[in-house]
Amino acid sequence: MTIERHTELRAELISDMQVGINKVINGELDIYENSFLNRNDILSYLKILGFKETNSDRNGWQEDYWYYLEYNSFKYAVTGSGFYGDLSFSKTE
């Protein structure tokens, strides 16, 4: 794969992530899941939108993580595993 193709694919993944997050925020989707992006991608986008982190936790070598955020008086969570490469974003209440 060329660097150009990699850049195109990454841009598509980021765009799909933004659409998925917006659907969760708008109530069109219960949970957004992805196994191709990392938590920094999603947390950076949420910060741009104005989300505020309220709590976070991580564990050992699997690098499981839980980030709790607030936005417009609603609570959300970003959870996943660095070892397995999965992540999810959902409203928690």
Q: Are 63 and 81 in contact (CB under 8 A)?
A: yes
pTM of the model: 0.90
* pLDDT at residue 93 in the model: 76
Q: Which mean pLDDT values do the consecutive 10-residue runs of the chain (93 residues) have?
A: 90 96 97 93 96 93 92 96 91 89
Displacement of CA 89 from its chain's centroid (Å): 5
* pLDDT at residue 88 in the model: 97
Could you tell me the residue range of the domain that residue 28 belongs to? 3-91
- CA–CA separation, 42 and 18 (whole Å): 8
Domain count across the chain: 1
